[in-house]
Amino acid sequence: MTARQEICDAVNAVDGMTATPYVSGEVSPGTVYLRLERIEFPNPFGGICHWNVCLVLPQDLATAEQYLEGVLPSLIEAIEPHLVVRSVVPQRLNLAGVGDLPVAFINGTREAD
């Protein structure tokens, strides 16, 4: 099983979350896209992959923050066996045909497969 699929399966186990391995057109709150941000090669033995678990939030910013605060503990608990969570950054993602979408990028690392 790939890292991408392992992370997706972990997210899908969280109540109210639906993960897709790649960015899709789905924009409902609780949708999660996986994005491989970068791979660093710090030593000759292999790389460190930086993943973004991109969580779609509600459109209203106050509601988005409340939603994030509510789901974040269980989402992090689910993905921590697969990623070392490094940061959570609320942002906007510009999707073609959708526009700016409130999201949270949950950044984590793991060794390259």
47: domain CATH number? Answer: 3.30.70.1700
Q: What is the pLDDT of residue 25?
A: 82
- Written as tens digits, the pLDDT of the chain (113 aa) is 699 999 999 999 999 999 999 988 889 999 999 999 999 998 788 899 999 999 999 999 999 999 999 999 999 999 999 999 999 999 998 887 778 889 999 999 998 87
CB 57 within 8 A of CB 66: no
105 closest CA partner among 31, 53, 62: 53
User: CA of 30: how far to CAs of 16, 72, 83, in Å?
Assistant: 6, 11, 19
User: CA of 85: how far to CAs of 53, 58, 71, 72, 95, in Å?
Assistant: 10, 23, 15, 11, 25
Domain extent for 10: 3-111
pTM of the model: 0.91
Strand ranges, E, within 1-113? 18-20, 31-43, 46-56, 84-95, 99-111
* Total domains, the chain: 1
